[in-house]
Homo-oligomer: A and B are copies of this chain.
Amino acid sequence: MVSRYTRGVVLNTDPAAPGARMGRPRSERARRAVLHAVDDLLVDVGYAAMTMKGIAERAGVGRQTVYRWWSTKAEILLEACLADAREELVVPPHADPAGDLLAYLTALTEFLTTSPPGLAYRALVGEAQHDPAVRELVHGADLLTESARGVLDRVRRSAPDMPETALSAAQLTGPVVTRILTTPAPLPEPLLEAHVASLLRAWGR
């Protein structure tokens, strides 16, 4: 049983999961204040300097209120990311598969380069490379595969050679994400278009 406040926001709706911990119903206003506070603090002080105390102060809530729902700053940050990713990375259906894929990749680039929750996700992926607890959170969410699933399901109908979603999502998102994480500039629009054309040839469209 998941609180109506957490539904669609926590990444794992298993009632035994930490994010779904119950007790008393969440105060939606306090919860949103905390999620906004971590977005703000990420921009202002960065991930490393962020503390649960600082988050509570910025949100204007007690520290106990924060700890009632989350155990670590990484959990809060990931919940903020996922909620925003669900909004920012949902692409309305386009007339053709190329339009669908390009719109998703444009939104993904925007998310990871300019949106505070997207920058938060990059910070978490960074932490995940050396912090096992953060790694488990990031792995459990698999934000990239999950956010690509909708558009891939639509494209699959007319792309007979598209591999299973674990691979096709990686083929779609991996080049964009890797360039953003490891090089000075994201793939520009013409290369995103060339990438989409490649994918559709590969997938038998």
Enumerate chain A interface residues (CB-CB to B < 8 A): 46-48, 122-123, 125-130, 138-139, 142-145, 161, 163-164, 166-167, 170-171, 173-179, 181-184, 187, 191, 194-195, 198-199, 201-204
CB distance from A201 to the nearest CB of B (A): 5
Residues of B within 8 A of A167 (CB): 175, 187, 191, 194-195, 198
Are A130 and B182 closer than 8 Å at their CB atoms? no
Extra 14 A-B pairs, beta carbons < 8 Å, given A142-B183, A201-B204: A48-B130, A123-B129, A125-B129, A125-B182, A139-B182, A166-B191, A167-B187, A167-B194, A174-B177, A178-B178, A181-B181, A198-B203, A199-B202, A201-B201
Residue of B nearest to A145 (CB): B183
Are A127 and B126 closer than 8 Å at their CB atoms? yes
Q: Which of B47, B163, B179, B204 contacts A130 (CB 8 A)?
A: B47
Distance, CA A198 to CA B48, complexed state (A): 40
Q: Which of B130, B166, B182 contacts A144 (CB 8 A)?
A: B182
Residues of B within 8 A of A194 (CB): 163, 167
Residue of B nearest to A135 (CB): B184
CB distance from A81 to the nearest CB of B (A): 12
CB distance from A155 to the nearest CB of B (A): 14
Residues of B within 8 A of A191 (CB): 163-164, 166-167
